[in-house]
Structures are given as structure tokens and as C-alpha cells.
Homo-oligomer: A and B are copies of this chain.
Amino acid sequence: MGRSTARLKDIATRTGFSVNTVSLALRGSPRIAEGTRLTIVQAAEALNYLPNHIAKSLVSRETRTIGLVLTSITNPILTRVAQAIELRLAELGYSTLFATSNGRPDEEIKAVEMFRSRQVDGMLIYPCSHRELNHIRKVRAAGYPIVLLAGDADAGVDVVGMDTRQGGYAAVRHLLDCGHRRIGLIDGGKQRGNLEKYDGYRRALDEAGLTDDPALHVVPVAHSVAGGFDAMSELMARGNGMTAVLAATDSLALGALRWTQQHELRVPQDMAIVGFDNIEFAQFAATPITSVDYAVDLVTERAVDRLIGLIRAEDSLPEAEVMLIEAELIVRESSAEPR
């Protein structure tokens, strides 16, 4: 290691006071005389003293650290969420330990265990699956403050996130209002039990008296632009009469858009495209993409506030609360009536 950090003891021997006095002085206790406080503070500065947060944590039993688990930070919206959370936590004096699950439940479990071992004061988790939450519920039951960044009303754990069910519904309603009847869906969420977007899609179709045709669904290989491109290719190869497509993320939507360009389909005339998250790249795409907004600031602010609230709840955690923020559909050029 070699890192030679000054300790309270070093300041103590240097100034002749006891370790405890030094500690009190540096924390500005009123019980320490002004003169000695100054001496001690000066000595601390001279030695370039920084408190050992590890030692402090051991006795105070709080680390002022929270753990953030994301599936993959490659999704631009999760990126913004991560950054916003880090900033807000930093303002509140908390540090952020960061882990990614890569969408794999076992990695998620490992990350949570690691955070527990590191005694984080709480966790923010964007779960792989919105259904299988038992491992998380168990940790919450053990008294750990946890807030999920996505989930469903019956999660049994606190959730602060976007109402993607309603978002999916709004998107499809919009396409139906435009006159579309054959609406494709690029969404891999079903595979993992993240049914919200699909549910919204289906409900809107239901209300319009349309049947939910599996020929219009495709699961992208990855949540990337390339994945959207390939998914679009697959959908079109089926000859399913699709005139509009809803993609689970803007990255997928951009891939779909690129496919239409390469195959000389006009957007929105020949194919309407709607995405999720409202990222900047979608806004500035060749055809600006209609998208279900992700209210990053609102979600992160509420999620962090809720988590801090849980941390401050001295004895027992309050009942779990699910807060789903209504998603606004930002209509742009990529969606309009067919033909």
C-alpha cells in the first residue's frame, strides 16, 4: 500500500492532546476551547489529514454509501438515470457503489450480496425481472432499505419508476388514432416477465377491438440499434401487413428507422415508428422519433428521496409503496396516419 495517511493519533502526538480531544475538536464540539481547536485544526491541515471513513463507519454503523444496480448501462436512459442518481446522492452526502447485472439474475443477486457485505445504507435497483423479486423481497424483509427503479404495483418492495404500462397504452392509442390497425411490437420484456409495455399495447388493441397477433411481435437479440435493425428486418420478412411499429427503447426504434431508410420506406407515410425513453438521438434522428418520455429527473429525485426516507426510518421499514410516474408521449414526425 504505502499510502501514508495521517490519523487522529498523529495529530494527537503532534499537538500533545489526546486522540479524543482531537476528534472532538475536528468535529467542532463546543466542549473544546477555541485555542486548542485552532491548534488541532492547523496540525490536521499540516498533516493533510482526511478522516478514515471506514473506521467511522464501523462505529457509527452507517457508511453513507448506497448501492446502485443497473442491468446494463449501455442503455442511454439508464445512463442518465445513473448520473442523476449519483449527483443527487452526492448532494445529500452519500456515495454511490455501482454494479451491473447484465440482465442476469445471478449477477444481480451477487451484486446485492456484495452491497450487503459492504454495509451500504440502502440500494437502488433496476431489476432484471419485474416478476421474480423474491431475493430482493428477502433482503428488504431483513430490514434493508431498497427502492426499485422499475416494477409493478404488487411488487412487495418499494418502486419508483415510469408507468410503462400506461406509456405503452398511450403509444398504441396514438397509433390507433392515426388510423393504424397492424401495429408491430419490438420488445423482449415478455421473456423476463417485464410485461408492462406489452400489457399496455394489448389493452389498447383490445379496446379498439383488435386481436393481438403474434406475427406482429418480435424479440430483439439485444437492446441496441443493431438489434432494432434486425428485429425490423424480421418483422418485415413476415409480410404481416404492418404499418406501424412500437419499439421498447429508442435505440431499437432507431434501428428500425435505419432499416426503413435502407429499404426505401418513407417514415411515417409507409411505416410509423414509436419508441420509448425519448433520448436525444431519437429527437435528432433523420426522422425525429415519437417517443414515450422517461422523466429522468422526476424518477431519480423521487426514488432517492424515498430511499433516504427508508434509511431514516429508525426502527422498522414502512409499508412498501409503488410510485409509477405517468409517461408523456412526445409526438414527432415518425408517426402519422398510414399511406
Contacts and interface: CB of A to CB of B under 8 A. Distances in A.
How many chain copies?
2
Interface stretch (A153-161, A168-176, A277-285): A277-285
Interface stretch (A13-21, A80-88, A199-207): A80-88
A52 interface: yes
Contacts of A62: 1
Interface in A296-315: 313-315
Contacts of A317: 2
Interface in A96-153: 96-100, 102, 113-114, 116-119, 121, 142-144
Interface string A211-224: 00000000000001
Nearest to A57: B54
Nearest to A79: B79
A191 interface: no
A284 B97 contact: no
A43 interface: no
A254 interface: yes
Nearest to A228: B284
Interface string A228-256: 01000000000000000000000100110
A284 B250 CA distance: 13
Nearest to A118: B53
Contact of A226 (B113, B121, B280): B280
Interface of A: 1-5, 48, 50-55, 57-58, 61-63, 65, 68, 72-74, 76, 79-80, 82-83, 86-87, 90, 95-100, 102, 113-114, 116-119, 121, 142-144, 224-226, 229, 251, 254-255, 258, 261, 280-281, 283-286, 313-317
